[in-house]
Amino acid sequence: MVNALYTTLDRRLVPAGSLLFTAGQPGDAAYLIVSGRLEVFLERPDGDLVLAQRGPGEIVGEMAILDKRPRSASVRALEDSALVAITEQQLAHRIAETDPILCMCLGVVLDRYRETVALLEHMKGSAPPPAEAKSHSPSGPTANDAFTSALNTLVLEREIRDGVRAGQFEMHYQPIVRLSSRRLAGFEALMRWRHPHRGMVPPVEFIPVAEASGLISELTAFALAEAGRVLPEFMLAAMRNLSWIENQLFMSVNVSGHDLAAASFPQLIADLIARTGIEPDRLKIEVTESMLMRDPERAAAALAECRLTGLGVAIDDFGTGYSSLSYLSTLPITTLKIDRAFVRTLLTDRTSRRIVQTILRLADDLEIPVVAEGIEQVEEADLLTEMGCALGQGYLFGKPMPLDSSIATTRSWAALAPTKQRARI
């Protein structure tokens, strides 16, 4: 397989006995060895000190790119060798996407290795030990940034764990309306963290850390349990305002790719429905395109199991991913949600309007209702209604609210309906 891929990549042939690079040079690339053998060594007046040998499937030259310092050793070919270059740009992008704790650990490992190489060189010759061998602490702006980021992540992980145990997390609820009538159709349950010292922490700050650490499963379980617990309260409130509430008031809850990958997730859903007694079709889970694409087969299997219980499945931020059309026919989707980026420019940008219209036509052919997110102006809601969009949510209809305010909103929804549309009902 490596050889097949190799024919499509830039290659470098290094004859036996040739130097690939020498110690002290700046690192411009790392090299994947396809064939042949290389040796890593230190040049000494009384004879080279061989540190290691590398063969097919291994990499040489990565350190100078990873820690942006000169090469610590030299490399030469023991045999005619074929290599594939891995550029600094390719590695830098991947490192930037790496969890900060892993980055910090990687930095420590690299420092240890360089210290070992320096000490070996000192033992073989007469040069004094270099300054970096005297300390195990990372130095320089990049190392300090990595350390600070890792420390902040560790602290935040611990605080999330403590917050779950202390009951600091809570759900807020944002209205979703039927655009043609402006009747209240449901709510999206959104998590908030009421931190005792930081105040209200936005999801964008703690959700990525929770996903990277695996804590997201606990948060999702809490969110689903809360949705099941409060949905009957919303239904009772709706009974007092039947003229302005849809018959099947629903609740949407966001789940992550980590949740879908867990074998126990479909059972979690089944247990929730059995425990609360709620009608399954009143509960929806929302997943983003990017999460689905991490493991499409596993996601499809998990969602199919959830759909067997009657649960709804909504695809969030639709239109922003790379495989939107390919999975519509394979996933058990019951709702699409148009990303707010398209709604924000709907009135001023023809391209956004065409994209929205295309999504609506596609959904109509598939008989899948669409929710437009991020509606803030009556004109946006009116245009989406004319275009055939079924549902909408956004600040025009209400911001995410705590439970008490959401229940009160359900009871008095007529007072909150946009006046421009009320005359049409």
Domain end position, chosen among 96, 121, 138: 96
Residues 207 and 349 in one domain: yes
Tokens, residue 413: 């929804």
Instruction: Quote the CA–CA distance of 156 and 240 in Å, as a whole number.
Output: 43
Q: What local confidence, expressed as pLDDT, does residue 76 receive? A: 95
Whether residues 183 and 205 fall in one domain: yes
Question: CA-to-CA distance for 330 and 310, rounded, in angstroms?
Answer: 17
301 part of a folded domain: yes
Domain membership of residue 224 as a residue range: 167-422
Question: What is the distance between the alpha carbons of residues 347 and 321, in angstroms, rounded to a whole number?
Answer: 23
Answer yes or no: do 132 and 175 share one domain: no
Residues 22 and 54 in one domain: yes
For position 119, what pLDDT does the model report?
61
Does residue 378 sit in the same domain as residue 412? yes
Judgement on whether residues 135 and 220 belong to the same structural domain of the protein: no
**One domain for residues 213 and 318:** yes
For residues 100 and 150, the answer to whether their CB atoms sit within 8 Å is: yes
Provide the CATH number for the domain around residue 178. 3.20.20.450
Q: Is the pLDDT of residue 129 over 60?
A: no
Residues 72, 200, single domain; the answer is no
Q: Is residue 92 located within the same domain as residue 109?
A: no
Indicate if 25 and 84 belong to the same structural domain. Answer: yes
Judge whether 381 lies within some domain. yes
What is the total count of domains within the chain? 3
One domain for residues 115 and 138: yes
DSSP string covering 57-119, please?
T-EES-HHHHS-S--SSEEEESS-EEEEEEEHHHHHHHHHTS-HHHHHHHHHHHHHHHHHHHH
3-state DSSP call for residue 29? strand
Q: Residue 187 domain-assigned?
A: yes
Which of 78, 96, 114 is the last residue before a domain boundary?
96
**Over 50: is that where the pLDDT of 213 sits?**
yes
Q: Could you tell me what percent of the chain has a pLDDT over 70?
A: 78
pLDDT tens readout for residues 308-345? 989 999 988 887 765 556 677 778 889 999 989 999 99
**pLDDT per position as a tens digit, 81-123:** 998 887 766 666 556 656 666 666 666 666 666 666 666 566 5
Q: Considering 72, 96, 120, which residue would you say is the last residue of a domain? A: 96
Report yes or no on 157 lying in a domain.
no
Contacts of 11 (CB under 8 A, 6+ apart): 34, 82, 83, 84
Given a cut of 70, whether residue 125 has pLDDT beyond it is no
CATH number at residue 77: 2.60.120.10
Would 161 be classed as within a structural domain?
Answer: no
Mean pLDDT rounded to a whole number for the chain: 82
Is residue 162 situated within a structural domain?
no
Residue 321 to residue 36: CA distance in whole angstroms: 41
For residues 63-71, give the mean pLDDT: 76
Same domain for 369 and 405, yes or no, is: yes
Q: Within a domain: residue 137? A: yes
DSSP for 221-278, written as a single string: HHHHHHHHHHHHHHHHHHHTTGGGEEEEEEEEEE--HHHHHSTTHHHHHHHHHHHH--
> Quick one: pLDDT at residue 372?
96
Note whether residue 160 is domain-resident. Answer: no
